[in-house]
A and B are shown apart, each in its own frame.
Chain A
Amino acid sequence: MRVMAQIAMVMNLDKCIGCHTCSVTCKETWTNRKGMEYVWFNNVETRPGQGYPRRYEDQEKWRGGWVLNKRGHLALKQGGRIRRLATIFSNPVLPTIKDYYEPWTYDYRDLTNAPLGDDFPVAAPRSLISGKPMKIEWSSNWDDDLGGAPEHGGSDPVVTKLRDEIGHRIAFAFEETFMFYLPRICEHCLNPACGASCPSGAIYKREEDGIVLVDQDRCRGWRQCVTGCPYKKVYFNHRTGKAEKCTLCYPRVEVGLPTVCSETCVGRLRYLGVVLYDADRVTAAASVPDEKDLYEAQLDCFLDPDDPEVARAAERDGVPHDWIEAARRSPVRALISTYRVALPLHPEYRTLPMVWYIPPLSPVVEALTETGFDGEDAGNLFGAIDALRIPLEYLAELFTAGDTRPVRASLERLAAMRAFMRDVNLGREPDTSGVLAAGLTPETTEDMYRLLAVAKYEDRYVIPTAAAGDARRLEESALPDECSLDQAGGPGAYEHGPFGDDSGRTSLPLVTLENFHLLSRRQRSDKQEDL
Chain B
Amino acid sequence: MTVLLWGALPYIVFVLLVTGLLWRYHYDQFGWTTRSSEVYESKLLAVASPMFHYGILFVLAGHIMGLFVPASWTNALGLGEHAYHLLSLYGGGAAGLLAIAGILMLVYRRRTNAPVFRATTANDKLMYVFLLGAIAAGLVAKFTHSTPSHGYDYRTTIAPWARSLFTLSPDTALMAEAPLAYRVHAVIGMVLFALIPFTRLVHMFSAPLQYLFRPYIVYRARDPRRLGARPKEPRGWERVDT
Interface residues of A (CB under 8 A from B): 81-82, 85, 87-92, 94-97, 127, 129-132, 191-192, 195-196, 198-201, 203-208, 216-223, 236, 238-242, 254, 466, 470, 473-474, 477-480, 484, 487-489, 495-500, 503-510
Shortest Cβ gap from B103 to chain A (Å)? 12
CA distance A315 to B199 in the complex (A): 49
Would you call A199 and B30 a contact (CB within 8 A)?
A: no
Instruction: Tell whether, in the assembled complex, residue B34 and residue A240 are in contact, meaning their CB atoms are under 8 Å apart.
Output: no
| Interface contact B33-A241, CB-CB below 8 Å | yes
For residue B227, which residues in chain A have a CB less than 8 angstroms away from its CB? 254, 466, 474, 477-478
User: Chain B residues near A88 (CB, 8 Å)?
Assistant: 208
Q: Which of B11-19, B45-53, B89-97 lies at the interface with chain A?
A: B45-53
A90: B residues at CB distance < 8 A:
38, 42, 45-46, 49-50
Given A208-B222, A222-B208, are A97 and B232 also a contact pair (CB < 8 Å)? Answer: no
Shortest B205–chain A CB gap in Å is 10
Supposing A199-B211, A498-B28 touch, asked if A94 and B38 sit within 8 A by C-beta, the answer is yes
Q: Complex Cα distance A529/B230, Å?
A: 37
B39 touching A236, Cβ below 8 Å: yes
Task: Apart from A220-B34, A223-B39, A499-B241, list 15 A-B contacts with CB within 8 A.
Answer: A85-B212, A97-B39, A97-B40, A201-B208, A201-B210, A201-B211, A207-B219, A216-B30, A220-B33, A239-B241, A480-B228, A489-B232, A497-B239, A498-B239, A510-B228
B36 at the interface (CB under 8 A from A): yes
Do B211 and A89 touch (CB < 8 A)?
Answer: no
CB distance from B119 to the nearest CB of A (A): 7
Q: Is the CB of B208 within 8 A of A199?
A: yes
Query: In the complex, A208 Cα to B45 Cα: how many Å?
Result: 41
Contacts of B238 in A (CB 8 A): 498
A221 x B203 contact (CB < 8 A): yes
Closest Cβ of chain A to B108, distance in Å, is 16
The one of B32, B42, B52, B230 in contact with A94, judged by C-beta atoms closer than 8 angstroms, is B42
Of A129, A222, A478, the contact of B40 (CB 8 Å cutoff): A129
| Residue B2 CB within 8 A of the other chain | no
Q: Which B residues are CB-close (under 8 A) to A221?
A: 33-36, 203
Q: Tell me how far the C-beta of A80 lies from the nearest C-beta in chain B, rounded to whole angstroms.
A: 10
- Interface bits B43-68 vs A (CB < 8 Å: 1, else 0): 00110011011100000000000000
For the complex of A and B, 5 pairs with smallest distance between CB atoms: A199-B208, A478-B228, A130-B114, A221-B33, A196-B216
- Are A85 and B115 within 8 A (Cβ)? no
Check B156 for interface membership: any CB of A closer than 8 A: no
Chain A residues near B32 (CB-CB < 8 A): 220
Check A220–B203 contact: CB distance below 8 A.
Answer: yes
Of B39, B221, B234, which one neighbours A96 at CB under 8 angstroms?
A: B39
Q: In the complex, what distance in Å separates the CA atom of A17 from the CA atom of B1?
A: 76
Alpha-carbon separation in the docked complex, A203 to B220 (Å): 9
Bound Cα distance from A240 to B31, whole angstroms:
7
Q: Could you say which of B37, B212, B216, B240 contacts A238, with CB atoms under 8 Å apart?
A: B37
Contact partners of B149 in chain A: CB under 8 A: none
B212's partner among A82, A479, A497, A505 (CB-CB below 8 A) is: A82
**18 A/B residue pairs, CB under 8 Å, sorted by A:** A90-B46, A94-B38, A130-B115, A203-B218, A204-B219, A205-B220, A206-B220, A206-B221, A222-B34, A241-B33, A241-B34, A478-B227, A478-B228, A499-B240, A507-B230, A507-B232, A509-B229, A510-B229
Residues of B within 8 A of A489 (CB): 232
Are A201 and B33 within 8 A (Cβ)? no
- Whether B29 pairs with A217 at a CB distance below 8 angstroms is yes
Q: Is the CB of A497 within 8 A of B221?
A: no
Query: Could you say which residues of chain A place their CB within 8 Å of the CB of B153?
Result: none
Number of residues on chain B facing chain A (CB within 8 A): 57
Closest chain A residue, CB of each to CB of B46: A90
Q: Are A129 and B216 in contact (CB under 8 A)?
A: no
Q: Which residue of B lies closest to A318 (CB)?
A: B221
> Could you say which residues of chain A place their CB within 8 Å of the CB of B39?
94-97, 223, 236, 238
A96 vs B214: C-alpha distance when bound (angstroms): 29
Which chain A residue shows the least CB distance to B34?
Answer: A221
Do the beta carbons of B33 and A219 come within 8 Å of each other?
A: yes
Chain B residues with Cβ under 8 A from A504's Cβ?
28, 30-31, 235, 237
Chain B residues whose CB sits within 8 angstroms of the CB of A207 once the complex forms: 219-222
State whether B208 touches A85 (Cβ < 8 A). yes
A242 to B28, CA, bound (A): 13
* Complex Cα spacing A497 to B119, Å: 15
Which residue of chain B has its CB nearest to the CB of A201?
A: B218
Asked if residues B46 and A238 are in contact (CB atoms below 8 Å), the reply is: no
- The complex places the Cα of A479 from the Cα of B227 at a distance, in Å, of 9
Contact of B29 among A218, A470, A488 (CB under 8 A): A218
Cβ of A204: which chain B residues have Cβ within 8 Å of it? 218-220
Nearest Cβ on chain B to A135's Cβ, whole angstroms: 14
Give the Cβ gap from A470 to chain B, nearest Cβ, in Å. 8
Complex interface: chain B residues within 8 A of A503 (CB): 30-31
A94 to B39, CA, bound (A): 7
Interchain nearest-CB distance for B130 vs A (Å): 20
Distance in Å: Cβ of A500 to nearest Cβ of chain B: 5
B residues less than 8 Å from A508 (CB atoms): 228-230
Using CB atoms, name the residue of chain A closest to B37: A238
A412 to B224, CA, bound (A): 46
Q: Known contacts A220-B208, A478-B227, A504-B235; is A205 also within 8 Å of B218 by CB? A: yes
Residue B233, interface by CB 8 Å:
yes
Cβ-based interface call for B231 (8 A): yes
Using CB atoms, name the residue of chain A closest to B47.
A90
- Whether the Cβ atoms of A496 and B217 lie closer than 8 Å is no
On chain B, the residues within 8 Å of A500 by CB distance are 241
**Interchain nearest-CB distance for B1 vs A (Å):** 36
Contact A236 B218 (CB under 8 A): no
Is B118 close to A, CB under 8 A? yes
Asked whether B229 lies within 8 Å of A81 as measured between CB atoms, the reply is no
Q: Which residues of B lie under 8 Å from residue A236 when comparing CB positions? A: 36, 38-39
**A88, A196, A498 — which one has the most chain B CB atoms within 10 A of its CB?**
A498
| Contact B219–A484 (Cβ < 8 Å) | no
* Centre residue among A217, A477, A504 by max chain B CB count within 10 A: A504
Most buried by A among B30, B50, B210, B221: B30
Chain A residues, Cβ within 8 Å of B233: 488, 505
The interface residues of chain B lying within 8 Å CB-to-CB of A498 are 28, 30-31, 235, 237-241
Query: CB-CB < 8 A to B118: which residues of A?
Result: 129-131
CA distance A497 to B232 in the complex (A): 12
With the chains together, A240 CA to B33 CA distance in Å? 8
Q: Which residue of B lies closest to A200 (CB)?
A: B208
Name the distance in Å between A507's Cβ and chain B's nearest Cβ: 4
* A84 nearest in chain B by CB position: B211
Query: Are A505 and B224 interface neighbours, CB within 8 A?
Result: no
